Structure 1
């Protein structure tokens, strides 16, 4: 419905596009965003009907595409962001992607040539008509055709015999001048450094995303740095081989994003980089069960404090590098909260802010005697604190 990816798959294998769309929606909702990931891949690597190449290959000067380079770069950035969502450590995204790949393989194996055969077959409602007979040749003279007198012989030499050396051949037609066809210009074959580099960057970046939940060092800035290093190596190689200029359009936003993630955090400080990726869901019932710090490099933190019972002041910090942080506090507790997000939105105790950075400082009194102090931050994402 957006880029024609589902329709293209349906046309290729002669199936109803609704089936493809339903599969993508189901794997998006229940498969950790695997449907969106596959759709973006198709958007980048499937060419339009009247285009020479797909948007991804056109960006590295491999052919013409109706999709602009700037929009293609945005699609690549969206693909990286969706990859963090799909492979967030809970396994649903990986399972959904595996199911989609297996379904595509089975579809290709069983119906690979059906779509092409259907396109070549004649319509079912065509009827066979008899071929009209060729008219019989007229063996006699057509008396209706007027008879003309033959042309008188030439008395002046033609252009091809200016000296009149062959008057017996003057009645021959004038020769048609033959102009030699110009030789086609020799096009210099462009080196495919850009395509190879982008493919390597996607493969290495995807491998880092898959390994991030199991490797504490692989934070968001580190993955961006690794991908940027691969692109930099490709640009250096392209400078010698005469290619890879399109990599600049991807290297610039990656460099800016890496700089922001590395050096800018809530309040102008360093970015929040945790040692874990995934999702934290915690509902502590006592002060002993409450952690003093909830930190993630990427993912989401859902902290429910409505079951907390304590007569002493309680304090905790929630920090997320890339993702969302949601804290639910008791309805009758005294709350002092400081919320901030470098890039995103903040909604704390009914107050909202969408600036860059977004900050909300709120204090509300309570009647239960429980006092909660919160510091909730996100480098890139959304922060929410509400009463239960």
Structure 2
């Protein structure tokens, strides 16, 4: 009876609360095994943890990749957050200094960077418009139900942290000799050897009348034992960050070089060099940071660069997903409201980096043909033309909506919409030629 009761109490119980289930899942995460893995062991780890065939998990990941694209992101997440067999923590936890993992910090950064485009693609509606969100929800629900029903199976044993270098244990060993007569040399004990030497010619009786060694204790020569070495200094408690050593110069040098590269790119862009666009500048800075992180991995420095690399990578992925070909750092920031009343006030080019542009052409005198170009980096652009003018306009935005004289489109990376409209009175009015280009934002051209 007692044995059965003990087995029931020692067996992990299923949790009933959602929060407890999530916490228990994290505490008993699957471990990526060495045996049976095909790539990184994520599918094999899930199969071993919950007692299902890893082939089923692999098929589910392939289906999630085809329908929605979330399978790749999930696999990378498992690679980052599931510890390997024999590892103390996962690769991401090792990156932030929580323990030891076979995944190096440099490779963990590579996995983080690879996770960003896969997550953006999955959640950006690239496959079947929202399939990534559906795949994420289904995967999360499946893991929750799986852990609720089978979380008590095959729970991984915690890995004992590796002992710190310099720790020592002490044991006292020795061999004992015998002494039964005068002049006998005795024993050695531990690290400090001592000898028994009887300097008398005859044993003297002990005060109690019994001497088990048959020797005079006063004749023993007991040299002082060598004191044991001092115990090692206590280290930090478990989970506490390791004490900081000498600060590496890799992080400071990389950060300074990244600022120089970014400043040079901005200066060249302002000077008219179109290659140094915002995506290219961010890419160059990210390359410098990446090189610094790889170099820091060899000298145990530059970990602070992760905080700079992650937002740069996110910005780079966004700029890569959304075409920013026409974005320029020239033109300033803020709203522009212009109502030219003569040809001298009309600018041939209205260029802006960020902000809304409102251009009203209805106050210009009728007569000579007009041509102007409006370029906006981030913001909405609205142009109002006279009701009777003969307008030829080309409207384009890389991300947003276009309403170009009642001809529209919307989306990301759309082509230009070109319209020729002669107004309410037909051909014969003032000729106006417009080119409106936005990087991010809405474009609207309408009659006044």
Give TM-score scaled by structure 2 length.
Answer: 0.36
Give TM-score scaled by structure 1 length.
Answer: 0.41
